[in-house]
Amino acid sequence: MSDQSHRESRGEASVCPKCGVGALVQKKVRLGAMVGCHIWPRCDYVQMRSN
Ligand SMILES: [Zn+2]
């Protein structure tokens, strides 16, 4: 039994800076990658990520 105290998993999602409640999810789009709020369209926060 390993007693590893991992507080949070690595794949912790960032919180949307606009609404503060939604999580940012990454989506693949034609131009590359796009990060958007997961409660879209209630929150329209979108951030483009260039390669
Ligand atoms: Zn949001």
Domains of the chain, residue spans: 13-51
Distance from the alpha carbon of residue 15 to the mean position of ligand 1, in angstroms = 8
Place of tokens 């796009």: 34
pTM score, whole prediction: 0.61
Spatial separation of the C-alpha atoms in residues 45 and 6, rounded to whole Å: 30
Distance from the alpha carbon of residue 51 to the mean position of ligand 1, in angstroms = 23
Distance from the alpha carbon of residue 30 to the mean position of ligand 1, in angstroms = 22
Spatial separation of the C-alpha atoms in residues 42 and 8, rounded to whole Å: 27
The pLDDT value recorded for residue 31 is 80
Query: pLDDT in tens for each of the 51 residues of the chain?
Result: 766 555 444 556 689 999 999 999 998 888 888 999 999 999 999 998 775
